[in-house]
Structure 1
Amino acid sequence: MRAIQFTEYGPPGVLHVAEVAAPHAGPGEIRIAVRASGISPGETYIRSGTMRDVIPTTFPYRTGFDAAGVVDEVGDGVTDVGVGDEVFGMADSAVRGANADFAVLAYWAPKPAAWSWAEAGGAAGNVETGTRVLDRLAVGAGDTVLVQGAAGGAGTVAVQLALARGATVIGTASERNHDFLRSLGAEPATYGPGLVERIRALAPGGVDAVFDCAGGALPDLVAIAGDPARVVTIAPDFTAAAHGVHLSHGAPAGETDTIIGAADPLASHGLAIATTLAEEGRLHIPIAATFPLTEAPAAHELSETHHARGKIVLLT
């Protein structure tokens, strides 16, 4: 089968299509014929070598964490799906390899009929991340939540998941994305200098929780929240601990504990919640762009601009 991998650190051009043996579903796993799979911004940092001192990499490194497709193999102990079912989900974080013709999923849920393959293929990672962080922040009805970097793949999903919990959401983005954020149900704000004052004007009663998807503004975000314990970041900002802010990640246990802290438990329960919300029309997965599997380097190039509105997806 075809799979995207790299065998050395470098620019997007080090990515290439390799012919590799197809994986098989182990106990508690399923294998899918992939229809679409997501590009993870975190993997662009790994591929470039930026994270080499944080996440050890064994070459060849196969990319891809979330995917959607048709079940074609079911492992021992799996009873909730069968061959031919359409699902979306995530690979084991220690294995990855979802940017391929076939992928083994460790977590999954039924693909909502309301979603295209592209939407389903790019959903699981951001749904899990959003659920994990909102759970940690205990976001619920009546809360006011600030999502920093709300127009990206993770931010757009976080906004909708917070709204589904009954929260009021303020989202930061460039001005060109403000109408887009309003369409999702968020009150938009521009990031950058003066952020604290702008947010206080929008939320005179204060902000209950801050979900940082962008990085680079932790002092302002702590000031807005009034307590670093009410701020969680998913950006690769290694100054988080110095600000008293939790950096939430799902990297394999033991890989990064001494540098950015232990991984949080994966919020895989969020996938089933997402299916329900999608079928109710309350969760959409904005797609920034789709590329054929063979154009993975171009997809990584777009991701590295940090201006993609929504998720970048590879179609198989």
Structure 2
Amino acid sequence: MPPIALLICDDSSMARKLLLRALPADWNVSVTHARNGVEGLAAIRAGLAEVTLLDLTMPEMDGYQVLEAVRAEGLSTQVIVVSGDIQDEAMRRVRELGAIAFIKKPAEPELLKRILAQAGLLQAAPAQPVVRESAAQIPFDFFDAMREAVNVAIGQAAALLARVLDVFVHLPVPNVNLLDSGELHMALADAREDPQSTVVCQGYIGNGIAGEALLIFHHCSVGDMARLMKRSALDYGDQEMLLDLSSVLIGACLSGLAEQLDVMFSQGHPQILADRAQLDSLASNARSRWKQTLAVEISYRLDGYDIHFDLLLLFTEDSVERLRSKLDYLMG
């Protein structure tokens, strides 16, 4: 029996590597890789995807758009979504769009095998050993690994926010960069120069990893924030509302990241940086202490609310090697 054409569609080489490792050892498949939805859809159209393992959060074309195109064009593939976005609404949407199953990242081999078996996608064990690409052949670097760990973490955070606040969170592809002190000033420029933005800062530390979380609210409606927090805008002070929402958002993201890295973070009290001088001071202090900062930027948008905000995680220079070792261990 010829091998099944399998497509693994994910922008992260680390995620593709982990998925390849999770496949049943005796599953006879020929594997095609796609780094985004555009490449994935082209592979499906070319008949290279009897089965598709599909991520949701990708650049150029996300997983939802791929599912919509597959349904609109009547393309033949059985899609299993493998995603860090584990919001109940995300699971409902992908099933509505035709996915046969949803697996949270990182995929557990036994669960993946059970779902494949239930869908009738596992053939009898082949007479000859299966020869296919080894997961070790897929290269990845620190930034890709960090981006994927953050991707899974913010998916867990979004699921918590969705339950606590009864809202659907649109998740982005996180940006991960190593910034020198001058570039950090530039990264904070928009927040410093925009009088309508509000910045909340909260420190964190744990297991040799430390940094500052900055939550930057852009042109947010106070009324929408009050509605989100289920409070009266008249009885609930603006600063109190921002601090409460920030505690939920920053805490949820750090908790998800801590779970991925097997660490435990202690968090300081959040505080509002009331003027631009405080942002300048933060950047200046960083410049005096570190040559470089690992910066993770995540942009959030909430369904049905005039609320848009960026979460910027700034890891100290000393934290980078600790993060590298944690991610290397995660990859085994």
With normalisation by structure 1, the TM-score equals 0.26
> More helix per residue: 1 or 2?
2
Please tell me whether Structure 1 or Structure 2 has the larger radius of gyration of its CA atoms. Answer: 2
Q: Which has the higher contact order (CA 8 A, sep 6+)?
A: 1
With normalisation by structure 2, the TM-score equals 0.25
